[in-house]
């Protein structure tokens, strides 16, 4: 195969699997500083992780590292890194609501897909298996898996608001769930309950348009969902601003409380800052000691 033909084949492969979505996500993931293994935890493995004080009644005396213990007046044991491959489940709300974009801004679904795919690429490079919540794409590794994931994340739903929610997780995996969470049809409480029962920790990422956060409307305005299934008209839009912003704040507080109870993190990306800032926050949340 000639070099030119190979480049064309690779370009076609990228175009078929999310096109610009994949290219942007790979660029973003390359900018993310990845540690040796962001989700390390103690266990039976081959690689030394750290020393910790010996716990009488918990640790076997044969685990004591006498050379390290001789340096201080207490016993220490060598803690090894757990070598069981980790799994990251991702899910994006693909309803028409996520396709909304105000003037000069990127659509919510595009921003969500780039962030989710970028973190998946970073996780795969760190040695983890990545996949979709549910049976559509089981967690796996490799370039082919990333291409299939990009293809799935690029799909769109022909409905204003989603009627589905992620309900299948691998035991002790981690997860990233992205939506605008403006519709309660995505039963977050049920999702987090299922995840907690399987030992899954993760991040709820609310993706909003800047206009949805500021509500700059005044005078006669017609509010309509992307596909037109919901519509509301008013002569004084400014009068709705206070109540709208309060309902949005209340919704975010509820999501934050549900996430806290499940030992998840709740993050908001409103498009007002660089994607790398949100990506770094997601990575830091997923890399905590109690996750993964």
* Per-residue model confidence (pLDDT) at position 292: 37
Give the predicted TM-score (pTM) of the model.
0.76
Any idea of the CA torsion for 237, 243, 245, 251, to the nearest 10 degrees? -130
Confidence of residue 193 (pLDDT cuts 50, 70, 90): very high
Asked if residues 54 and 74 have their Cβ atoms less than 8 Å apart, the reply is: yes
The rounded mean pLDDT for the chain is 81
Any residues with CB less than 8 A from the CB of 209 and at least 6 apart, and which?
100, 101, 102, 105, 108, 270, 271
How many whole angstroms separate alpha carbon 11 and alpha carbon 277?
29
Q: Domains along the chain?
A: 12-33+85-286 (3.40.50), 48-80 (no CATH)
Between 48 and 192, whose confidence is greater?
A: 192
Asked if residues 265 and 174 have their Cβ atoms less than 8 Å apart, the reply is: no
Q: Per residue in 131-188, pLDDT tens?
A: 998 778 999 988 889 989 998 988 888 888 887 778 788 888 999 999 999 987 678 9
């Amino acid at each position: 195969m000639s070099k030119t033909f190979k480049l064309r084949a690779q370009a076609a492969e990228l175009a078929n699997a999310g096109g610009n979505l994949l290219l942007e996500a790979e660029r973003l993931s390359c900018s993310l500083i990845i540690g040796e293994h962001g989700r390390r935890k103690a266990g039976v493995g081959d690689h030394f992780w750290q020393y910790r004080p010996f716990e009488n009644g918990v640790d076997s005396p044969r685990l004591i590292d006498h050379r390290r213990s001789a340096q201080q007046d207490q016993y220490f044991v060598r803690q090894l890194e757990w070598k069981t491959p980790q799994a990251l489940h991702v899910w994006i709300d693909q309803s028409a609501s996520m396709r909304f974009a105000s003037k000069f801004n990127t659509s919510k679904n595009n921003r969500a897909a780039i962030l989710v795919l970028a973190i998946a690429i970073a996780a795969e490079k760190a040695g983890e298996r990545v996949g979709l919540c549910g049976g559509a794409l089981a967690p796996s590794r490799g370039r082919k898996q990333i291409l299939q994931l990009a293809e799935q994340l690029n799909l769109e739903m022909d409905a204003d608001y989603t009627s589905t929610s992620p309900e299948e997780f691998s035991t002790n995996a981690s997860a990233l769930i992205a939506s605008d969470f403006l519709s309660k049809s995505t039963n977050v409480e049920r999702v987090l309950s299922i995840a907690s029962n399987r030992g899954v920790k993760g991040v709820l990422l609310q993706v909003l348009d800047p206009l949805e956060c500021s509500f700059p409307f005044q005078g006669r305005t017609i509010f309509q969902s992307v596909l037109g299934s919901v519509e509301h008209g008013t002569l004084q839009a400014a009068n709705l601003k206070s109540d709208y912003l309060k309902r949005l704040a209340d919704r975010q507080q509820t999501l934050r409380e549900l996430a806290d109870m499940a030992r998840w993190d709740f993050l908001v990306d409103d498009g007002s800052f660089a994607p790398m800032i949100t990506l770094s926050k997601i990575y830091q949340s997923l890399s905590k000691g109690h996750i993964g």
